[in-house]
Protein backbone atom coordinates (compact mmCIF):
# COMPACT_ATOMS: atom_id res chain seq x y z
CA UNK A 1 0.00 0.00 0.00
CA UNK A 2 2.84 2.41 0.75
CA UNK A 3 4.40 1.76 -2.65
CA UNK A 4 1.04 2.18 -4.39
CA UNK A 5 0.47 5.46 -2.55
CA UNK A 6 3.92 6.71 -3.54
CA UNK A 7 3.31 5.78 -7.16
CA UNK A 8 -0.05 7.58 -7.13
CA UNK A 9 1.58 10.69 -5.65
CA UNK A 10 4.27 10.65 -8.32
CA UNK A 11 1.73 10.15 -11.12
CA UNK A 12 -0.41 13.03 -9.89
CA UNK A 13 2.58 15.33 -9.48
CA UNK A 14 3.99 14.43 -12.91
CA UNK A 15 0.58 15.08 -14.47
CA UNK A 16 0.32 18.44 -12.70
CA UNK A 17 3.75 19.55 -13.90
CA UNK A 18 3.01 18.54 -17.47
CA UNK A 19 -0.35 20.29 -17.49
CA UNK A 20 0.78 23.62 -16.04
CA UNK A 21 3.77 23.64 -18.42
CA UNK A 22 1.28 23.36 -21.29
CA UNK A 23 -1.71 25.37 -20.06
CA UNK A 24 -0.40 27.55 -17.24
CA UNK A 25 -1.22 27.25 -13.57
CA UNK A 26 -4.59 29.04 -13.76
CA UNK A 27 -5.69 26.90 -16.70
CA UNK A 28 -5.44 23.63 -14.78
CA UNK A 29 -8.00 22.26 -12.31
CA UNK A 30 -7.54 19.43 -9.85
CA UNK A 31 -9.95 17.30 -11.90
CA UNK A 32 -7.66 17.78 -14.92
CA UNK A 33 -4.77 16.42 -12.88
CA UNK A 34 -6.78 13.36 -11.87
CA UNK A 35 -7.78 12.66 -15.46
CA UNK A 36 -4.24 13.10 -16.82
CA UNK A 37 -2.83 10.85 -14.09
CA UNK A 38 -5.43 8.17 -14.65
CA UNK A 39 -6.62 8.45 -11.05
CA UNK A 40 -9.98 9.02 -9.44
CA UNK A 41 -10.70 12.58 -8.36
CA UNK A 42 -11.24 11.46 -4.77
CA UNK A 43 -7.86 9.70 -4.81
CA UNK A 44 -6.06 12.82 -6.01
CA UNK A 45 -7.94 15.00 -3.54
CA UNK A 46 -6.89 12.72 -0.69
CA UNK A 47 -3.25 13.04 -1.74
CA UNK A 48 -3.29 16.69 -2.82
CA UNK A 49 -6.35 18.69 -1.73
CA UNK A 50 -5.43 21.68 -3.90
CA UNK A 51 -2.96 22.90 -6.49
CA UNK A 52 -0.88 24.67 -3.87
CA UNK A 53 -0.14 21.33 -2.21
CA UNK A 54 0.99 20.02 -5.59
CA UNK A 55 3.29 23.01 -6.08
CA UNK A 56 4.72 22.48 -2.58
CA UNK A 57 5.24 18.79 -3.38
CA UNK A 58 7.16 19.79 -6.50
CA UNK A 59 9.57 21.85 -4.40
CA UNK A 60 9.89 19.04 -1.87
CA UNK A 61 10.76 16.63 -4.70
CA UNK A 62 13.49 19.00 -5.94
CA UNK A 63 14.79 19.41 -2.38
CA UNK A 64 15.03 15.64 -1.96
CA UNK A 65 16.89 15.25 -5.25
CA UNK A 66 19.39 17.96 -4.29
CA UNK A 67 19.91 16.63 -0.77
CA UNK A 68 20.49 13.11 -2.09
CA UNK A 69 23.65 14.41 -3.76
CA UNK A 70 25.05 15.99 -0.60
CA UNK A 71 28.45 14.54 0.38
CA UNK A 72 28.58 12.78 3.74
CA UNK A 73 31.66 14.74 4.82
CA UNK A 74 32.88 18.31 4.36
CA UNK A 75 35.98 19.13 2.36
CA UNK A 76 38.06 21.35 4.69
CA UNK A 77 39.43 23.21 1.65
CA UNK A 78 35.96 24.38 0.60
CA UNK A 79 34.47 27.64 1.81
CA UNK A 80 30.80 28.13 2.66
CA UNK A 81 30.44 29.95 -0.67
CA UNK A 82 31.92 26.95 -2.52
CA UNK A 83 29.49 24.59 -0.82
CA UNK A 84 26.49 26.84 -1.47
CA UNK A 85 27.50 27.12 -5.12
CA UNK A 86 27.58 23.33 -5.46
CA UNK A 87 24.24 22.90 -3.70
CA UNK A 88 22.42 25.56 -5.72
CA UNK A 89 23.84 24.29 -9.02
CA UNK A 90 22.55 20.83 -8.13
CA UNK A 91 19.19 22.52 -7.60
CA UNK A 92 19.23 24.15 -11.05
CA UNK A 93 20.28 20.85 -12.62
CA UNK A 94 17.31 19.19 -10.93
CA UNK A 95 14.98 21.99 -12.09
CA UNK A 96 16.20 21.93 -15.69
CA UNK A 97 13.71 19.28 -16.95
CA UNK A 98 10.85 21.23 -15.33
CA UNK A 99 11.72 24.72 -16.53
CA UNK A 100 8.38 25.27 -18.29
CA UNK A 101 6.42 24.27 -15.18
CA UNK A 102 8.61 26.50 -13.04
CA UNK A 103 7.93 29.46 -15.34
CA UNK A 104 4.20 28.77 -15.09
CA UNK A 105 4.36 28.80 -11.29
CA UNK A 106 6.42 31.98 -11.25
CA UNK A 107 4.03 33.78 -13.61
CA UNK A 108 1.05 32.64 -11.55
CA UNK A 109 2.68 33.91 -8.38
CA UNK A 110 3.03 37.41 -9.83
CA UNK A 111 -0.67 37.48 -10.72
CA UNK A 112 -2.12 35.70 -7.68
CA UNK A 113 -1.06 37.23 -4.35
CA UNK A 114 -2.65 34.38 -2.39
CA UNK A 115 -0.54 31.84 -4.27
CA UNK A 116 2.60 33.89 -3.62
CA UNK A 117 1.80 34.07 0.10
CA UNK A 118 1.01 30.35 0.32
CA UNK A 119 4.26 29.41 -1.41
CA UNK A 120 6.35 31.52 0.98
CA UNK A 121 6.80 28.86 3.71
CA UNK A 122 7.73 26.02 1.29
CA UNK A 123 10.25 28.29 -0.42
CA UNK A 124 11.81 29.24 2.91
CA UNK A 125 12.00 25.55 3.88
CA UNK A 126 13.75 24.87 0.59
CA UNK A 127 16.30 27.61 1.19
CA UNK A 128 16.85 26.37 4.76
CA UNK A 129 17.48 22.87 3.38
CA UNK A 130 19.98 24.25 0.86
CA UNK A 131 21.84 26.10 3.60
CA UNK A 132 21.97 23.03 5.82
CA UNK A 133 23.19 20.91 2.91
CA UNK A 134 26.05 23.40 2.56
CA UNK A 135 26.76 23.17 6.32
CA UNK A 136 25.54 26.73 6.87
CA UNK A 137 23.28 27.22 9.89
CA UNK A 138 19.69 28.13 9.03
CA UNK A 139 18.16 28.49 12.50
CA UNK A 140 17.54 31.50 14.70
CA UNK A 141 17.58 35.12 13.54
CA UNK A 142 20.92 34.79 11.71
CA UNK A 143 19.56 31.73 9.93
CA UNK A 144 16.39 33.57 8.94
CA UNK A 145 18.52 36.36 7.46
CA UNK A 146 20.56 33.79 5.53
CA UNK A 147 17.37 32.19 4.22
CA UNK A 148 16.12 35.56 2.98
CA UNK A 149 19.49 36.32 1.42
CA UNK A 150 19.67 32.99 -0.38
CA UNK A 151 16.08 33.37 -1.55
CA UNK A 152 16.92 36.79 -3.02
CA UNK A 153 19.93 35.25 -4.79
CA UNK A 154 17.75 32.40 -6.06
CA UNK A 155 15.15 34.80 -7.49
CA UNK A 156 17.85 36.81 -9.29
CA UNK A 157 19.67 33.77 -10.68
CA UNK A 158 16.40 32.12 -11.72
CA UNK A 159 15.82 34.88 -14.26
CA UNK A 160 19.11 33.93 -15.90
CA UNK A 161 18.36 30.21 -15.55
CA UNK A 162 15.06 30.67 -17.41
CA UNK A 163 16.93 31.86 -20.52
CA UNK A 164 20.04 29.69 -20.20
CA UNK A 165 19.95 27.15 -23.02
CA UNK A 166 23.59 26.06 -22.62
CA UNK A 167 24.18 22.39 -21.95
CA UNK A 168 26.21 23.04 -18.80
CA UNK A 169 24.16 26.05 -17.60
CA UNK A 170 27.28 28.21 -17.87
CA UNK A 171 25.34 31.50 -17.73
CA UNK A 172 23.52 30.32 -14.62
CA UNK A 173 26.82 29.31 -13.02
CA UNK A 174 28.32 32.72 -13.74
CA UNK A 175 25.30 34.56 -12.32
CA UNK A 176 25.22 32.39 -9.20
CA UNK A 177 28.96 32.76 -8.61
CA UNK A 178 28.73 36.55 -8.95
CA UNK A 179 25.79 36.81 -6.53
CA UNK A 180 27.42 34.55 -3.96
CA UNK A 181 30.67 36.52 -4.13
CA UNK A 182 28.75 39.74 -3.50
CA UNK A 183 26.90 38.15 -0.57
CA UNK A 184 30.21 36.86 0.82
CA UNK A 185 31.74 40.35 0.72
CA UNK A 186 28.77 41.86 2.53
CA UNK A 187 28.90 39.08 5.12
CA UNK A 188 32.60 39.70 5.73
CA UNK A 189 31.99 43.43 6.14
CA UNK A 190 29.17 42.77 8.59
CA UNK A 191 31.31 40.35 10.61
CA UNK A 192 34.17 42.84 10.67
CA UNK A 193 31.88 45.58 11.92
CA UNK A 194 30.22 43.33 14.52
CA UNK A 195 33.62 42.36 15.92
CA UNK A 196 35.00 45.90 16.11
CA UNK A 197 35.49 47.41 19.61
CA UNK A 198 33.24 50.36 18.75
CA UNK A 199 30.39 48.07 17.66
CA UNK A 200 30.75 45.93 20.77
CA UNK A 201 30.76 49.03 22.98
CA UNK A 202 27.61 50.33 21.28
CA UNK A 203 25.89 47.00 21.83
CA UNK A 204 26.74 46.83 25.52
CA UNK A 205 24.19 48.32 27.98
CA UNK A 206 25.35 51.50 29.74
CA UNK A 207 26.61 51.09 33.30
CA UNK A 208 24.81 53.32 35.76
CA UNK A 209 26.89 55.29 38.31
CA UNK A 210 27.48 53.41 41.52
CA UNK A 211 26.66 50.04 39.98
187 has a pLDDT exceeding 80:
no
Low-confidence winner among 21-30, 37-46, 185-194 (lowest mean pLDDT)? 185-194
CATH number of 15's domain = 1.10.10
Cβ(154)–Cβ(88) under 8 Å?
yes
* pTM over the 0.85 mark: no
Instruction: Give me the pLDDT at residue 208, please.
Output: 42
CA proximity to 99, closest of 29, 183, 172, 179 = 172
Structural domain for 116, as ranges: 51-192
- 116-174: per-residue pLDDT in tens? 999 999 999 999 999 999 999 999 999 999 999 999 999 999 999 999 999 999 999 99
What distance in Å separates the CA atoms of residue 73 and residue 35, rounded to the nearest whole number?
Answer: 44
**DSSP 3-state assignment of 77?**
coil
- 56-90: per-residue pLDDT in tens? 999 999 999 999 999 888 888 899 999 999 999 99
- H helix intervals, the chain: 2-23, 30-37, 41-47, 51-68, 80-95, 99-111, 113-133, 140-163, 170-195, 197-203
Shared domain for 43 and 84, answered yes or no, is: no
In this structure, is residue 211 part of a structural domain? no
Percent of the chain with pLDDT over 70: 86
What distance in Å separates the CA atoms of residue 199 and residue 211, rounded to the nearest whole number?
Answer: 23
Shared domain for 65 and 151, answered yes or no, is: yes
Amino acid sequence: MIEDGTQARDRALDAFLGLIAEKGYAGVALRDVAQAAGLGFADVYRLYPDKISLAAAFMARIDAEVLAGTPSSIDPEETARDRLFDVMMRRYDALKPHRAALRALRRAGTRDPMLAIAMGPPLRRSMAAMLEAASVASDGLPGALRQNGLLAIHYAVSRVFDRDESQDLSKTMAALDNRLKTAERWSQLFDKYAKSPRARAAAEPPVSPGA
